């Protein structure tokens, strides 16, 4: 496990390293150079999103995307006045409507509900991004096209990625809208963003410009570890929510110090939409449910009261070492909540199955808990959930199903084929 935690931290540093204008890693730091409106983007911020892929495919009309389209900026919606490629956030909570439509019933039930709401009354805004290895694989095989078959889709791990040598990687980033005091808080990684909502007959489309702060980064890395080659790691800003046993007097982004302890008898049967004085302090309880098409993203709501139910341990010493190494940057305020992988059945320890058994981001999977003897336990497992996706990626499944308005089926790029994955140990 110490080796996997070390891999997770090394990956985190590589992803948060400053980029050049061309989207490659800068030759030198400091890593704090990614902070501020005019600062270079962190490396993961230069990756592409499913929305950008869909928009570029739409602009291409009948011509398929190619590997050369990786660096082509996607235009913003017409209601957003800004440069192509600017940060655009339009999804409240972990699961978009497009992805929710393709989830198996059991998984859809486990991720039901709305976004976590911070103490400013604003929802967590989530984006998914993926690296160039995944882009090349998707465009080479036409896997991004509506109606495409999933047969044969396999992203390369770091051993099979003969072009870039890093393996397929994707992240989910959780952002919150900053208030005036938080905008100048150097401990939070901030960006200028457009918060965009599609319009309909009832509510016109709208685009709000805002300063947002990063509160969580969930990383999926096909890295050739164990019997399953995906390693999942969750990093969160330390001001998000308390650990078990931490003093309740501190203010957190998603936990009020004025809230008293609540019991299963008071909170166990609360349904989304049942907001009342009696349940305002119920821990890890969805008070609102999924936003409807007519609900504004930027609108005051009753805050969620979140807490971590799994204490993270730093037996390897990695978190302490990297926190010291990242001092002076907002990344020093991130902790590795956990790193999960599939244990190798041939290991001497005979570990087999997800290690550890559960892994939860408190802001991305806020409701993935269960009451047991008037206490809450985490029920979230990245590996167990994503095993049902197209090589563990549900956004690809949504593109293929056309639920996100994906591109029409076209021919694959000539002369390019995905690298073959392997299961060789790291």
What is the arithmetic mean of pLDDT over 284-306?
A: 90
Indicate whether 296 pLDDT > 60.
yes
Which of 246, 281, 247 shows the shortest CA–CA distance to 261?
281
The CA-atom distances, in angstroms, between 106 and each of 70, 366, 385 are 35, 17, 9
| Statement: residue 138 has pLDDT above 50 | yes
What's the pLDDT at 47? 96
Q: Which two tokens stand for residue 246?
A: 């931490």
Structure confidence by residue, pLDDT tens digits, 222-246: 987 765 579 999 999 989 998 877 7
CA dist., res. 179 & res. 367, Å (int): 25
Please enumerate in sequence order all residues whose Cβ is within 8 A of that of 113, keeping only pairs 6 or more positions apart, or say none.
93, 272, 286, 289, 290, 366, 367
pLDDT at 225: 77
E-strand stretches of 198-301: 206-222, 228-237
Please state whether beta strands 190-197 and 125-130 pair in parallel, antiparallel, or not at all (unpaired): unpaired
3-state secondary structure of 390: strand
Quick one: average pLDDT of 168-195?
90
Q: If DSSP codes are grouped into helix, strand and coil, which group holds residue 43?
A: helix
Mean pLDDT estimate for the chain = 84
- On the question of pLDDT at 422 being above 60, the answer is no
pLDDT per residue over 316-337, tens digit each? 788 899 999 999 889 999 999 9
Q: Give 3-state DSSP helix, strand, coil % of the chain, rounded to 5.
A: 20, 20, 55
pLDDT greater than 60 at residue 424: no
Among positive and negative, which fits the CA dihedral 304, 309, 313, 318?
A: negative
Mean of pLDDT values over 31-55:
85
Residue 138 to residue 57: CA distance in whole angstroms: 12
> How far apart (Å, rounded) are the C-alpha atoms in residues 9 and 339?
10
The H or E element that residue 341 is part of is strand 334-343
CA angle 392, 398, 402 (to 5 degrees): 150
d(CA 367, CA 354): 20
- 408 band by pLDDT with thresholds 50, 70 and 90: very low
Q: How does DSSP assign 102-168, residue by residue?
A: TS-HHHHHHT-S---B-TTS-B-EEEEEE-HHHHHHHHHHTTTSTT---TT-----TTT-TTTSS--
- CB-based contacts of 150, cutoff 8 Å, min separation 6: 143, 390, 396, 397, 400
At residue 7, what are phi and psi to the nearest 5 degrees? Answer: -60, -40
User: Is residue 123 very low, low, confident or very high in pLDDT (cuts 50, 70, 90)?
Assistant: very high
The Cα–Cα gap between 127 and 88 comes to: 9
Please report, for the chain, the start and end positions of each structural domain, with discontinuous segments joined by +.
2-401
Closest residue by Cα to residue 410 from 153, 145, 70:
145
Q: How far apart are CA 39 and CA 186, in angstroms?
A: 13
Indicate whether 270 pLDDT > 80: yes
**pLDDT given for residue 102 in this prediction:** 87
Q: Which of 258, 257, 288 is nearest to 122 (CA)?
A: 288
Percent of the chain with pLDDT over 70: 87
- Which pair of structure tokens corresponds to residue 218? 């969930």
Give dist(CA 185, CA 190) in Å, integer: 9
């Amino acid at each position: 496990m110490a080796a996997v935690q070390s891999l997770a931290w090394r990956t985190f540093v590589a992803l948060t390293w400053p980029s050049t204008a061309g989207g490659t890693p800068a030759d030198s730091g400091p890593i704090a150079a990614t902070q501020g409106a005019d600062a270079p983007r962190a490396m993961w911020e230069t990756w592409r999103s499913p929305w950008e892929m869909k928009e570029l495919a739409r602009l291409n009309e009948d011509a398929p995307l190619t590997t050369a389209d990786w660096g082509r900026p996607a235009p913003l919606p017409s209601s957003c006045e800004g440069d192509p490629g600017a940060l655009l956030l339009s999804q409240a909570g972990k699961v978009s409507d497009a992805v929710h439509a393709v989830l198996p019933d059991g998984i859809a039930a486990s991720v039901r509900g709305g976004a976590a709401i911070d103490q400013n009354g604003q929802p967590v805004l989530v984006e998914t991004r993926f690296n160039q290895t995944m882009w090349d694989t998707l465009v080479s095989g036409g896997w991004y096209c509506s109606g495409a078959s999933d047969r044969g889709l396999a992203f390369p791990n770091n051993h099979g990625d003969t072009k870039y040598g890093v393996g397929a990687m994707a992240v989910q980033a959780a952002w919150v809208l900053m208030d005036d005091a938080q905008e100048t808080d150097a401990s939070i990684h901030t960006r200028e963003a457009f918060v965009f909502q599609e319009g309909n007959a009832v509510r016109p489309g709208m685009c709000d410009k805002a300063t947002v702060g990063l509160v969580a980064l969930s990383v999926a890395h096909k890295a050739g570890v164990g019997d399953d080659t995906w390693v999942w790691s969750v990093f969160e800003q330390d001001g998000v929510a308390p650990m078990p046993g931490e003093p309740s007097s501190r203010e957190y982004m998603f936990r009020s110090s004025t809230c008293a302890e609540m019991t299963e008898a008071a909170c166990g049967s609360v349904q989304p939409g049942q907001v009342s004085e009696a349940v305002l302090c119920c821990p890890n309880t969805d008070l609102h449910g999924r936003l409807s098409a007519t609900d504004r993203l930027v609108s005051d709501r009753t805050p969620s009261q979140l807490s971590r139910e799994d204490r993270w341990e730093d037996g390897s010493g990695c978190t302490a070492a990297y926190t010291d190494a990242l001092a002076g940057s907002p990344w020093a305020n991130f902790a590795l909540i956990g790193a999960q992988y599939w244990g190798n059945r041939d290991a001497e320890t005979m570990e087999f199955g997800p290690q550890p058994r559960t892994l939860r981001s408190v802001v991305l999977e806020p409701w993935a808990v269960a009451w047991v003897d008037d206490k809450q336990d985490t029920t979230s497992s990245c590996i167990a959930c994503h095993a049902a996706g197209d090589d563990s990626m549900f956004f690809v499944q949504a593109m293929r199903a056309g639920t996100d308005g994906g591109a029409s089926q076209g021919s694959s790029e000539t002369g390019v084929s995905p690298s073959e994955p392997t299961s060789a140990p790291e």
